[in-house]
Structure 1
């Protein structure tokens, strides 16, 4: 779990260092701007943005039981972040699998994407959909058996 916080912590540390440098040069406005940008980047890359990831095997079995889609993603992926934000609260109803933390999830994504780890890859009823639109994913949630 601590590994997930390394990048956000590093971003906050670097932002603080850059802001301190700007303050030392007498630019408090630029210091605040830099710090805000780095804190925003840290927040986007933190585990707080995405629902808790589960393993690919568990996600597949849960999806088979209730019909909810499984989203394979990775931290820092702008397409994954965009999908997550556009889904809003309904994103919590999906099963999220972090392919960097789950080798079985990474293998599933590579298998359907010609060896590439292209995310987000969304599985609905066992069929993969690479980088689908948020409206389509939300529609699939509405038609799930849950």
Structure 2
């Protein structure tokens, strides 16, 4: 997985049981379907990418917007990006 992930403009790296991930998904509402969701427990390449941008930690949600990774960004920031198309 690279920062310029071809799967979508906004990619969210997450894992089951993560409260911050669940909150982000809930706050995105209907916009959540415009996001590519990568479960790092099922995607080793995704997990490696998350570690590479978080000092070796699997900190989620890690959200890539316009090729730039953001660790646990505010749902408002992600919604604003999604609203731009």
Tell me the TM-score normalised to structure 2 length. 0.92
How many angstroms apart in 2 are the aligned matches of 1:85 and 1:62? 21
Larger proportion of helix: 1
Shift of 1:62: 2.7
Aligned residue number for residue 5 of structure 2: 60
The total of aligned residue pairs comes to: 84
Is 1:107–2:48 an aligned residue pair?
Answer: yes
> What residue ranges of structure 1 are gaps of 5+ in the alignment?
1-55
How many angstroms apart in 1 are the aligned matches of 2:22 and 2:7? 23
> What residue ranges of structure 2 are gaps of 5+ in the alignment?
none
Aligned residue number for residue 82 of structure 2: 141
User: What is the Cα-based RMSD across aligned positions, in Å?
Assistant: 1.5
Larger radius of gyration: 1
Shift of 1:126: 1.3
Structure number with the bigger relative contact order (C-alpha 8 A, sep ≥ 6) is 2
Pick one of 18, 30, 38 that aligns with 1:97. Answer: 38
How many angstroms apart in 2 are the aligned matches of 1:124 and 1:98? 17
Tell me the TM-score normalised to structure 1 length. 0.55
How many angstroms apart in 1 are the aligned matches of 2:7 and 2:57? 25
Shift of 1:89: 1.2
* Structure 1 residues 20-99: aligned runs within 5 Å: 56=1, 60-63=5-8, 68-99=9-40
Aligned residue number for residue 121 of structure 1: 62
Larger proportion of strand: 2
